[in-house]
Chain A
Amino acid sequence: MSEVILEAKGINKNFHDPITIRVLSNISFSINKGEFVSVIGKSGCGKSTLLYILSTMDTDYEGELLIDDKLVTGQKPVKLAQIRNENIGFVFQFHYLLNEFSVLQNIMLPGLKLNKYSQKQVEQNAYDKLKILGIDHLAHKKPTLISGGEKQRVAIARAMINDPDIIMGDEPTGNLDKKNSEIVFELFQKLANEFNQTLLIVTHDQEFAGKTNRIIEMEDGKIIRH
């Protein structure tokens, strides 16, 4: 029996504007350490909404969420920020790199925020992550000067910097062409296989999902397969 890293218990969510609509109903599942999970479903089925609840950024829901066996639901915003910093890494559809900082500094930001290692150590870690992703030659460039595929890989490095329990992705390949999508997928797979990294990726790319360990399929706010 492998260790459970993330567990959702009976999660419901409603949108109230302009009228109350139930977008998620009774979502319960768990993810084990080292699993590479994809969430698929049609547009508007609630998969992204679910991801943002799991990511602790959205707190307006019913039910319970546990990360690493600790209850996350109902925690104070400062505590949630700390959990996001330490336990969760994010890759979004858009890279969200800060243009004011170099690639390396962008990756270091969450690491410096965690304040567990010295600046030198964090810098070394950031280098190591870039090396794993094969883009260490970009370290001192500004994000505006690198390509879209490279930006997304930098975003992955940023997600990895604090060695999180789980990396979450919201359509991480949605903005990329086929070749770059494949590179990103291979990197995810490498992380899962070689580093036993837990991954939860929301996608509507059936081909992408097909290559993951486990698929959670959603429809109309419910899980229909997992």
Chain B
Amino acid sequence: MNSKLLYNIAKSLLLARLRQTLVAALGVTFGITMFIALLSFMSGLNSTLDGLILNRTPHVRLFNEIKQNQDQPVLSAEEYKNSYNFIQSVKASSARQEIYNSSGINQFLQSDERVLGVAPRVNTQVFFNAGAIDITGMIHGMEVDAETRLFHFNDYVVEGSARDLRQVANSIILGKALAEIILANVGDVVQVTTAAGDRFSLKVVGFFQSGIQDYDKVQSYASVTTVQKLLGKPANYITELHVKLHDINSAPAVAQEYRTIFDASAEDVQTANSQFETGSFIRTLISYSVGITLLIVAGFGIYNILNMMIYEKMDAIAILKATGFSGSDVRRIFLMIALSIGFFGGLAGLFFGYVLSLLIDQIPFVTAALPTIKTYPVNYNPVFYFIAITFSLITTYLAGLFPARKASKVDPVVIIRGK
């Protein structure tokens, strides 16, 4: 009952000064609107830019690295066990590039509950024959369905169809830049020479564009079986296993674990692409700082207006106190005024922020670097809206606190006798 009465008084004081109230609320609304729009846009941009690399990067990559054997014969000789052995000019042996027992490992990974999915790869170097010139390139043999599901491969195929890789025998998807160099169109047949010297004809079923020109100049994709055929290897020949985890942050730990279990090299995404996290973090930090600064400025506006209102309403405060309202009642009235400015201003801000995000989402943004993007990317994360309304309530509360305390300390005798 008391709260309801105080609320009614607060409401009347607010409505009596409608213009001032609106100006104060407008400050909050503007702050929240910009906060939402800025964060949604920044975060959308962040995830797009990160996605450029991170979406296609396996969280953990298992492979057999070509390196010198750590177990040299001299180390197992009994008589030299306790001495320092210096071995010079150690070369990598003709170790196989394939992962040992790949199908076994694959099965194990599929059953690991931290793993979202596994995509096998067979990678090989080839020469693309364009007339008299040979152009070096890479062919990644892969399973289209797994790649599309885990690494959004489909998004980057700009012409043709990714599914044809599976359906058409001896087919290839070329990087767009590479296709321009060798003047190949979808449906054409290109000649490739493998490192072993064998020549093959592959049918072009599509182009892909990653957004990184240098990458597109050398990369191309084919199915696992096609590449195995190119290399003359059996069906269990797999050079890499790309693992996607449920939780990207656990990648370093998981990679470490696999390294010991499988006795193979395992690289995690954080080690491979540490710079992306830093970039995202800084961009997010900047958006938050700007948003919060806007809100603090709005808070000063509220502080000013409440201060003015208290001077104007001195008489009202005095008579309320004279007729039995305590100091804390008066404080609550002014805090309610501040908070309702924050709440309704904030609510309007959420709405306009959403509208502004929608508008940004409509602005055309076409760039060769980002083939999947047609308009500015926007992230409609409800968390931003939650943070925004929380911040608007906190700032307005703080802005109202000091004027409200001042109002609660008004001495009615001083005011009434002063008349």
In the bound complex, do residue B326 and residue A78 qualify as a contact, i.e. CB atoms below 8 Å apart?
Answer: yes
In the bound complex, do residue B322 and residue A90 qualify as a contact, i.e. CB atoms below 8 Å apart?
Answer: yes
From B318, which residue of chain A is reached at the shortest CB distance? Answer: A96
CB-defined interface of A97-108 with B at 8 Å, one 1/0 digit per residue?
A: 111110000000
CB-defined interface of B303-323 with A at 8 Å, one 1/0 digit per residue?
A: 000000000000110111111
In the bound complex, do residue A101 and residue B12 qualify as a contact, i.e. CB atoms below 8 Å apart?
Answer: yes
In the bound complex, do residue B315 and residue A96 qualify as a contact, i.e. CB atoms below 8 Å apart?
Answer: yes
Give the chain B neighbours of A115 by CB distance below 8 A: 1-2, 5
Give the chain B neighbours of A58 by CB distance below 8 A: 413
From B320, which residue of chain A is reached at the shortest CB distance? Answer: A109
Once bound together, how far apart are the Cα atoms of A97 and B313, in whole Å?
11
B186 at the interface (CB under 8 A from A): no
Give the chain A neighbours of B323 by CB distance below 8 A: 84-85, 90, 109-110, 113, 158
Given contacts A48-B417, A96-B416, A98-B319, contact A113 B13 (CB under 8 A): no
In the bound complex, do residue A94 and residue B419 qualify as a contact, i.e. CB atoms below 8 Å apart?
Answer: yes
Given contacts A98-B316, A112-B5, contact A84 B324 (CB under 8 A): yes
From A82, which residue of chain B is reached at the shortest CB distance? Answer: B324
**Which residue in A77, A78, A100, A110 is a CB contact (below 8 Å) of B15?**
A100
CB-defined interface of A71-86 with B at 8 Å, one 1/0 digit per residue?
A: 0000001100111111
Give the chain A neighbours of B412 by CB distance below 8 A: 57
CB distance from A142 to the nearest CB of B (A): 11
B328 at the interface (CB under 8 A from A): yes
Once bound together, how far apart are the Cα atoms of A58 and B322, in whole Å?
11
From A170, which residue of chain B is reached at the shortest CB distance? Answer: B416
A92 at the interface (CB under 8 A from B): yes
CB-defined interface of A14-58 with B at 8 Å, one 1/0 digit per residue?
A: 000000000000000000000000000000000010001001011
A132 at the interface (CB under 8 A from B): no
Give the chain B neighbours of A96 by CB distance below 8 A: 315-316, 318-319, 322, 416
A181 at the interface (CB under 8 A from B): no
From B11, which residue of chain A is reached at the shortest CB distance? Answer: A100
- Which residues of B, 388-419, contact A by the 8 Å Cβ criterion? 411-413, 416-417, 419
Once bound together, how far apart are the Cα atoms of A83 and B15, in whole Å?
31
Give the chain B neighbours of A146 by CB distance below 8 A: none
In the bound complex, do residue A77 and residue B1 qualify as a contact, i.e. CB atoms below 8 Å apart?
Answer: no
Give the chain B neighbours of A92 by CB distance below 8 A: 322, 416, 419
Give the chain B neighbours of A83 by CB distance below 8 A: 324
B16 at the interface (CB under 8 A from A): yes
In the bound complex, do residue B413 and residue A52 qualify as a contact, i.e. CB atoms below 8 Å apart?
Answer: yes
CB distance from A185 to the nearest CB of B (A): 21
CB-defined interface of A58-70 with B at 8 Å, one 1/0 digit per residue?
A: 1000000000000
Once bound together, how far apart are the Cα atoms of A93 and B325, in whole Å?
20
B327 at the interface (CB under 8 A from A): yes
Once bound together, how far apart are the Cα atoms of A159 and B324, in whole Å?
11
From A106, which residue of chain B is reached at the shortest CB distance? Answer: B319
Taking Cβ atoms with an 8 Å cutoff, the residues of A that contact B are 48, 52, 55, 57-58, 77-78, 81-86, 90, 92-94, 96-101, 109-110, 112-115, 158, 170
Taking Cβ atoms with an 8 Å cutoff, the residues of B that contact A are 1-2, 5, 9, 12-13, 15-16, 315-316, 318-329, 411-413, 416-417, 419
The 10 closest A-B pairs by CB, nearest first: A85-B324, A81-B326, A96-B319, A100-B12, A110-B323, A100-B16, A84-B324, A78-B326, A112-B5, A115-B1
Of the A-B pairs whose beta carbons lie under 8 Å apart in the complex, a sample of 26, sorted by A's number, is: A57-B413, A58-B413, A77-B326, A78-B327, A81-B321, A81-B329, A82-B324, A84-B322, A85-B323, A85-B325, A90-B322, A90-B323, A92-B322, A93-B419, A96-B315, A96-B319, A98-B316, A98-B319, A100-B16, A109-B9, A110-B324, A112-B1, A112-B5, A113-B323, A113-B329, A115-B5
